[in-house]
Amino acid sequence: MEKVERVVPFPFHFLDNNQAMNIRPKNYSWAEFYDRLIDLCSYSFSGRAIYRRLRSNRELIPRWMNVVRAMSAEGFGRIRHHKEIRRRLDEDPEFLPFFNQESTVVPRFYRELVRKDLGDLWEWLPDGAIDHDPNAYRLSGATETPSAIPILPAAELAAGTA
């Protein structure tokens, strides 16, 4: 089986399922991927979708939490972020080479976000802390695989026989 190097060395700071994806898409260019992601998020947080979620919830607090969530950084903010990344893929000369794994230099945009998030703690971050080799473990030659955790039937767990 052919090993395809598709892991992008994004700083761990961004691997939260929202700010970055560290696996290069297999069947799309980055531009196509972000175009589709923006379309999906725009649909998910459209006025029509927000209204449908509002109507489908019977409880007052969950109803309004969905509206607030959609209109906050989780909804509209996420769309804004994805649009910014999409724009930078076209305009920022550091972006596409990094995303396409032609460069391992983390774009200044991401470095500045870490600096902003860390505030005064930035000065304590050791040199190289943002950079890493995403394939280091695989390339280390380690042959052990983590032990599997057995999944027990609920009845065994409840009876305390596990």
**What's the confidence (pLDDT) of residue 152?**
73
With vertex at residue 53, the alpha carbon angle to CA 50 and CA 54, rounded to the nearest 5 degrees, is 85
- Token pair of 158, please? 């409840």
Burial class (CB in 10 A: 0-12, 13-18, 19+), 23: exposed
- Token pair of 10, please? 């994004």
Residue-wise pLDDT for 48-81, tens only, equals 877 777 777 777 777 667 666 766 667 778 889 9
**What is 30-46 written as a DSSP string?**
HHHHHHHHHHHHHHHTS
Mean pLDDT along residues 14-41: 89
Give the length of the chain: 162
Calculate the alpha carbon distances from 145 to 5, 22, 50, 137, 150 in Å.
Answer: 20, 22, 44, 11, 15
Q: Which alpha helices (H) appear in the chain, and where do they start and end?
A: 30-44, 47-56, 60-71, 76-91, 95-99, 108-118, 136-139, 154-159
The answer, yes or no, to whether residue 1 has pLDDT greater than 60, is no
For the chain, the straight-line distance linking the first and the last C-alpha, in angstroms and rounded, comes to 39
Q: Where are the domains of the chain?
A: 16-122
Verdict on whether the full-model pTM lies above 0.85: no
Residue-wise pLDDT for 91-107, tens only, equals 999 999 999 999 999 99
**What's the confidence (pLDDT) of residue 161?**
60
* Closest C-alpha to 64, from 79, 81, 50: 50
